[in-house]
């Protein structure tokens, strides 16, 4: 068992949440165990008790108690294979010294979990020489959602982008194919969400009266781009907030669930020839470049199963790209 350790927060780690700092240095310690160490005062910052979401400052000292499992030595991450590198290159939409932006395929998890060995975060581990130098996720997409995924190559860049996402200065556009055609064809869904256990696992649903204490505000702007009779609509979805499963739950609440969604399903059968997969795609993202120069504006091509659905319904990707804010000037556009 390792002795008590005191580590100083580096300039690169300034502004980082304590739980994320801890995961970077002691990845083998589960989050639940960290919470217990914090509750009992075994983990302290500058001698004081803190919470998992405490933002660290450069120069602060973090007390780390004896841990049964020693942290892995730097450089022990398995290097990327030739096949992994080729795969990452094939889904890269944009890259510079600070950023890596991918077109995540549907069905590929962003982070690992039970029985999930292949995921984006595993690939990122192989890109760094140590936990401190590896690229890191800035936001998340569901396993079955395809499209734009932003990754920071430096911890300082991740901190800047994290603040940008929190202050809602990041513009995101999703495309979805839904059952039926919403009326009115343009509007706002303002429905707070709560997590709830179901026989099929955890889901989110609309908050009920009396649940304000555990509800999370969730707002989505939507617009019908095109329709196939009254059967299916192509939607542009712009989330103001970023709750888990927000777009999927909001469209189900609106009465127009997303095609192929197994977590928030519809009793309506899928049209013939359409794959039973989630038809939700993170189409476009735009945000100020963390360097302070220019705007990053990236568009992700459709996934194969959504391309097939577009062809089946006669939808045009170019027509769907029309947007009232298309005058944004970007450093890159996919």
- Per-residue pLDDT, 327: 39
CA angle 21, 26, 28 (to 5 degrees): 130
List, in sequence order, every beta strand (DSSP E) within the chain: 5-8, 44-45, 48-49, 61-64, 92-95, 99-104, 136-137, 146-152, 171-179, 186-190, 193-198, 201-206, 219-228, 232-239, 280-288, 295-299
Cα–Cα distance measured from residue 279 to residue 270, given in angstroms and rounded to the nearest whole number: 11
Cα–Cα distance measured from residue 201 to residue 316, given in angstroms and rounded to the nearest whole number: 36
Residue pair 284/173 in contact by the 8 Å Cβ criterion: yes
Spell out a b/e string for 135-160, using b for 16 or more CB atoms within 10 Å of the CB, else e. bbbbbbbbbbbbbbbbbbbbbbbbbb
- Per-residue pLDDT, 319: 60
- pTM to 2 decimals? 0.76
- Per-residue pLDDT, 29: 82
Pairing state between β 146-152 and 280-288: parallel
- Per-residue pLDDT, 279: 97
Helices (H), the chain: 18-25, 31-39, 82-90, 120-125, 155-166, 246-254, 304-313, 317-320
* Contact partners, residue 321, CB within 8 Å, separation at least 6: 283, 284, 299
Residue pair 149/120 in contact by the 8 Å Cβ criterion: yes
Q: Is 142 a catalytic residue?
A: yes
Quick one: angle between helices 18-25 and 31-39, nearest 10? 120
Helix (H) / strand (E) element for 330: namely none
- Per-residue pLDDT, 326: 43
Catalytic residue among 98, 142, 323, 326: 142
* Contact partners, residue 133, CB within 8 Å, separation at least 6: none
Cα–Cα distance measured from residue 84 to residue 123, given in angstroms and rounded to the nearest whole number: 7
- Per-residue pLDDT, 302: 97
pLDDT tens digits, the chain, 334 residues: what are they? Answer: 557 889 898 877 888 899 988 887 787 788 888 999 999 999 999 999 999 999 999 889 999 998 765 444 444 556 788 999 999 999 999 999 999 999 999 999 998 766 667 889 888 887 865 556 678 889 999 999 999 999 999 888 888 898 888 888 899 999 999 999 999 999 999 999 999 888 877 899 999 998 888 899 999 999 999 999 999 999 999 999 989 999 999 999 999 999 999 999 888 888 888 999 999 999 999 999 999 999 999 999 999 999 999 999 999 887 655 454 443 334 443 4
**Six token digits for residue 184:** 């009115």
- Per-residue pLDDT, 2: 56
- Per-residue pLDDT, 47: 93
What are the structural domains of the chain? 5-64 (3.10.290.10), 82-166 (3.30.2350.10), 171-320 (3.30.2350.10)
Cα–Cα distance measured from residue 202 to residue 149, given in angstroms and rounded to the nearest whole number: 24
Cα–Cα distance measured from residue 71 to residue 131, given in angstroms and rounded to the nearest whole number: 10
- Per-residue pLDDT, 212: 83
- In this structure, the number of other CB atoms found within 10 A of the CB of residue 213 comes to 7
- Of the candidates 118, 116, 156, 117, the residue with the CA atom closest to the CA atom of residue 136: 156
- Per-residue pLDDT, 192: 96
């Amino acid at each position: 068992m390792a002795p008590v350790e005191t580590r100083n927060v580096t300039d690169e780690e300034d502004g980082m949440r304590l739980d994320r700092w801890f995961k970077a240095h002691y990845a083998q310690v589960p989050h639940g165990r960290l919470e217990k160490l914090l509750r009992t005062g075994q983990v302290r910052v500058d001698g004081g008790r803190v919470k998992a979401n405490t933002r660290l400052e450069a120069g602060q000292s973090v007390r780390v108690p004896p841990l049964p499992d020693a942290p892995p030595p730097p450089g022990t991450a398995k290097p990327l294979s030739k096949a992994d590198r080729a795969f990452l290159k094939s889904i890269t939409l944009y890259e510079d010294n600070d950023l890596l932006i991918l077109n995540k395929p549907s069905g590929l998890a962003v982070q690992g979990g039970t029985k999930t060995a292949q995921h984006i975060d595993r690939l990122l581990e192989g890109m760094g020489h140590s936990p401190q130098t590896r690229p890191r996720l800035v936001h998340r997409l569901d396993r079955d959602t395809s499209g734009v995924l932003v990754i920071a190559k430096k911890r300082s860049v991740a901190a800047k982008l994290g603040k940008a996402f929190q202050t809602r200065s990041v513009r995101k556009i999703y495309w979805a194919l839904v059952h039926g055609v919403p009326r009115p064809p343009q509007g706002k869904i303002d429905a707070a969400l709560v997590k709830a256990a179901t026989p099929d696992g955890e889901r989110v649903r609309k908050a009920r009266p009396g649940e304000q204490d555990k509800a999370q505000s969730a707002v989505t702007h939507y617009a019908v781009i095109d329709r196939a009779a009254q059967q299916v609509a192509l939607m542009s979805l712009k989330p103001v907030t970023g709750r888990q499963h927000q777009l999927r739950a909001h469209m189900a609440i609106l009465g127009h669930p997303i095609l192929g969604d197994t977590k928030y399903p519809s009793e309506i059968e899928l049209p013939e020839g359409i794959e039973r997969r989630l038809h939700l795609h993170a189409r476009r993202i735009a945000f100020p470049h963390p360097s302070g120069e220019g705007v990053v504006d990236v568009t992700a091509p459709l996934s194969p199963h959504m391309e097939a659905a577009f062809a089946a319904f006669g939808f045009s990707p170019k027509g769907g790209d029309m947007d009232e804010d298309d005058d944004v000037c970007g450093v890159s556009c996919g």
